[in-house]
Amino acid sequence: MKPLVLLGTGNGLGRVREMLLAREPELNIVRPDDADAQQAEVALCWNPVPGSLGMYPHLRLIHSIAAGADQIFKDPSRNPQIPVCRIVDPDHRLGMVEYVLWGVLHYHRGFDQVLRNQAWVFWDRPAQRPAKQTKVGVMGLGELGRAVASQLAALDFDTRGWARRAQQIEGVTTFQAGEIKAFLSGLDILVCLLPLTTETVGILGEETFAQMATGSVVINCGRGEHLNREDLLAALDNGQLRSALLDVFEQEPLPVTDPFWRHPQICVTPHIASSASYEVIAGQILENLARLESGAPLANEVNPEQGY
C-alpha cells in the first residue's frame, strides 16, 4: 500500500500512528513534510488545516481519528469524490453517558450552588425535587445522543430528544427537525450532541435560550461552533440561563485569556467528555484499509450530503 499521511494537530495522531505500527509494522505512515507524502492514498485526520487535503492527488480514503468529521468537511480543497470515514466506539457512548449524567445531576441537585456556598462558608440546603420534574432535552440522537437520552430517561428525568428524522427511544419524547420550538419549550437542561454542519452552527444562541425555562442550563458536548458566545454571556447576565457546562471550544486549547475560564457561571472542561480508545481507533482504521483494498463497503462512512 502507498503511504498514509497524518494531517492535523494534537498528540492523538502520534498515538494512533504508534498503535497502527504496533499492529501492522509494514505500514508506511508519513508526515506532510516527508518525501513520499505526495503519494499518500489515505489521510488520517484530526483537525486538518483547511487547504491541506487537496495537496494529495492520490487519496482514496480520508479517515477521521474521532467521532466527528466536521473539520474534514470544512476543507474547501477536499475532493468530494473521496469517501470520509469516522470512528464509532461503543465505549465512547459510555464515556459520554457518564459525562452528561454528571453534568445533569450536578445542576439538577444544585451542586453548583452548594460549591459556591462552600466558598462563602454558607450553610444552605437547596430544595430537592424529583428527577421527573426536571426537563432535559438532548439535541442529536445519534450514536452518542441516543445512549445519553436513554440513560437520562432510565433515571426518571423528563427526557426529550431532537433529531432531523423521527426516532423512537423508550421513555424519551422525541421531536423532528421542524419541531424544535416544542422540543425546547420550558427545558431546564439542554444537552448538545449534534455534529457541526452548516445547519447546526450557532444553534446554541439567543433564540434557543429564549424558549427554555428561565434559569436553565446548557451543556455543550458537540463542537465549540455550536455556541454563540455573545448570546451565552448575555443570557447568563440577564438570568435566562443559570449556568453552562462547556466541553468544546472554537479554539482548543481554550486560550488562557478567554473570559469563559473565570466566569462564575461557566464550567470549562478540556474536551474530555468522551474519547474512543486508541485500540479501537487503530482497529477501525485497519479494518477500513482492508476494506479499501478488497473493494468491500467501508465502515462508518460519513454521508457527504449531510456532513455527518
30 belongs to the binding site for ligand NDP (CB under 6 A): no
178 belongs to the binding site for ligand NDP (CB under 6 A): no
- Which residue's Cβ has the minimum distance to ligand NDP? 142
197 belongs to the binding site for ligand NDP (CB under 6 A): yes
What would the x/- binding string for ligand NDP be over residues 47 to 86, using CB under 6 A? --------------------xx------------------
Where would I find the H helices in the chain?
12-23, 70-73, 90-108, 111-119, 143-154, 180-184, 206-211, 229-237, 278-294
d(CA 145, CA 142): 5
d(CA 185, CA 212): 5
For the beta carbon of residue 22, count every other beta carbon within 10 angstroms.
11
12 belongs to the binding site for ligand NDP (CB under 6 A): no
Size of the site for ligand NDP (CB under 6 A): 29
Which one among 5, 195, 209, 242 touches ligand NDP, defined by CB under 6 A?
Answer: 195
**Choices 10-18, 30-38, 162-170, 277-285 (CB under 6 A): range interacting with ligand NDP:** 162-170
d(CA 166, CA 295): 33
For the beta carbon of residue 89, count every other beta carbon within 10 angstroms.
21
224 belongs to the binding site for ligand NDP (CB under 6 A): no
Least distance CB 299 / ligand NDP (angstroms): 13
38: which DSSP letter?
G
Which one among 84, 194, 219, 282 touches ligand NDP, defined by CB under 6 A?
Answer: 194
d(CA 121, CA 118): 5
Which one, of 281, 306, 275, lies nearest residue 99 by Cα? 275
What would the x/- binding string for ligand NDP be over residues 83 to 122, using CB under 6 A? ----------------------------------------
164 belongs to the binding site for ligand NDP (CB under 6 A): yes
Cell numbers of 207, please?
433564540
Residue 87 CB-half CA count within 13 A: 26
**Choices 130-138, 157-165, 182-190, 230-238 (CB under 6 A): range interacting with ligand NDP:** 157-165
Kindly report the backbone phi and psi dihedral angles of residue 220, in degrees, each rounded to the nearest multiple of 5, phi listed first. -110, 110
271 belongs to the binding site for ligand NDP (CB under 6 A): yes
d(CA 209, CA 229): 12
What would the x/- binding string for ligand NDP be over residues 225 to 264, using CB under 6 A? ----------------------xx----------------
142 belongs to the binding site for ligand NDP (CB under 6 A): yes
Least distance CB 47 / ligand NDP (angstroms): 12
Residue written as cell 500500500?
1
134 belongs to the binding site for ligand NDP (CB under 6 A): no
What is the set of active-site residues?
A: 223, 271
Nearer to ligand NDP, 7 or 65 (CB): 65
Pairing of strands 266-268, 189-192: unpaired
Residues 6+ apart with CB under 8 A from 252: 224, 270, 271
* Most distant CA atoms of the chain, gap in Å: 66
Q: Binding residues for ligand NDP, per CB under 6 A?
A: 67-68, 140-145, 162-165, 177, 193-197, 199-200, 221-223, 247-248, 271, 273-274, 308
